[in-house]
Amino acid sequence: MHAIQIQTEPFDIRAEQEALCRDNPRIGALVTFVGLMRDIHEGVSVSRMTLEHYPGMTEKALGALAAEAVERWDLEGLRIVHRVGTLEPLDPIVFVGVVSQHRGAAFRACEFLIDALKTRAPFWKKELTETGERWVEARATDEEAARRW
């Protein structure tokens, strides 16, 4: 019902969407979110970002988020693909896709997953800026969004 993937290579958004819908005529809604790397963060230009994770722990954490979404909403499936390694501006970082019979469940589950992923998944981001490298701290707005759920 759900798939979790951590990878260094880019993902194909269309292929991920098609994999969610394949051979399931019960699906009435497909909701996706794709996060892209920006070239600016907190007013500072960013030329590159490195995403690190702890293999095994990260997949387990994302699997727990997926299981929670499946428990809370009536879903036909979900996919989470998250990149790690070196990324440049406009590179896709994360794909979250959810399918259900009705749009309400798909929208809520997708929003929950991205909010929870931003605060509960063990990823570490280091940016290369015009003033050097820096680790990215969690944002208060991400914490606020995750508390809604």
CA separation, residue 137 to residues 41, 42, 75, 106, 108 (Å): 11, 11, 32, 29, 26
* Domain around 41: 2-147
pLDDT of residue 140: 72
- Tell me: pLDDT of 138 over 90: no
pLDDT band at 147 (very low <50, low <70, confident <90, very high): confident
pLDDT of residue 17: 96
Provide mean pLDDT across the span 119-139.
89
pLDDT of residue 139: 73
Q: How far apart are CA 128 and CA 113, in angstroms?
A: 27
- Taking the CA of residue 53 as centre, how many other CA atoms within 13 Å lie in the half-sphere pointing to its CB? 23
53-88 pLDDT tens trace? 999 999 999 999 999 999 999 999 999 999 999 999
Token duo for residue 90: 């406009």
pLDDT of residue 137: 81
What does the radius of gyration of the chain's CA atoms come to, in whole angstroms?
16
What's 80's domain CATH number?
Answer: 3.90.1170.40
Domain count, the chain: 1
* Pair 5, 80: CB distance under 8 Å: yes
Token duo for residue 76: 């036909």
pLDDT of residue 4: 97
74-125 pLDDT tens trace? 999 999 999 999 999 999 999 999 999 999 999 999 999 999 999 999 999 9
pLDDT of residue 44: 87
Q: How far apart are CA 74 and CA 146, in angstroms?
A: 20
pLDDT of residue 144: 80
Token duo for residue 145: 């969004």
Amino acid at 124: W
